[in-house]
A and B are shown apart, each in its own frame.
Chain A
Amino acid sequence: EVQLVESGGGLIKPGGSLRLSCAASGFTFSNAWMSWVRQAPGKGLEWVGRIKRKSDGGTTDYAAPVKGRFTISRDDSKNTLYLQMNSLNTEDTAIYYCTTFYSSNWYGSYFDLWGRGTLVTVSS
């Protein structure tokens, strides 16, 4: 079965750090571009960042609110995507979704496979 399963969420104090994981199965993870999207409680969707596959350079790109604080990485040997989150603040409270990210010149880019998400709550 093709799936993404996030883990690592929880309650963290402001200023703290947390690492989320996303375990992929059912597809060739090393060929996939991956992304994180978050959703604050009762709010809309916000793109967090993206990592290319290693054969495309493995580079990352981030949204402004998280740039310099969050780092996306991948371990293709473990079929796992990571999101290292530092200097967390209350505005980072959200469900964090792991997604596959398809990109082409013809169709643009889109988030085609989503995990169920993991909740991160930043509160004192």
Chain B
Amino acid sequence: DIQMTHSPSSLSASVGDRVTITCRASQSITNYLNWYQQKPGKAPKLLIYAASNLQSGVPSRFSGSGSGTDFTLTISSLQPEDFATYYCQQSYSTPYTFGQGTKLEIK
């Protein structure tokens, strides 16, 4: 199975900050990497697909980049509603695996 590893596991930041979350795959997954946001008690929400494509309706302050094994999710200017847990997920091969998540908290 392909292992997905987030860095960091948790992060404290302030409104207006620029934040970058990293996800590393245990082998090359080309650009088959997706990002999800999950708020407490809610279902995950797709943010980015195929490493850098913004899902419809997602604010443009979210962006994704990377290919191969290393990927990043960037939030250009944190808003209060962005404090949540973020998960990466590979779709290169089954089983489709998720990272353990990065919890973004208010500083």
| B99 contact from A44, A102, A106, Cβ within 8 A | A44
Interface size on A, residues (CB 8 A): 22
Task: Give chain B's interface residue range (CB within 8 Å of chain A).
Answer: 20 to 34
In the complex, are the beta carbons of B98 and A106 less than 8 A apart?
A: no
A64 closest partner in B (C-beta): B95
Interface of A is mostly: strand
Q: Which residues 32-60 in B have Cβ within 8 Å of A in the complex?
A: 32-34, 36, 38, 42-46, 49-50, 53, 55
User: Does the CB pair A106–B50 fall under 8 Å?
Assistant: yes
- Whether the Cβ atoms of B92 and A114 lie closer than 8 Å is no
Nearest-neighbour CB distance to chain B for A99, whole angstroms, equals: 9
Q: Chain A: residues with CB nearer than 8 A to chain B?
A: 37, 44-47, 61, 63-64, 97, 102-103, 106-112, 114-117
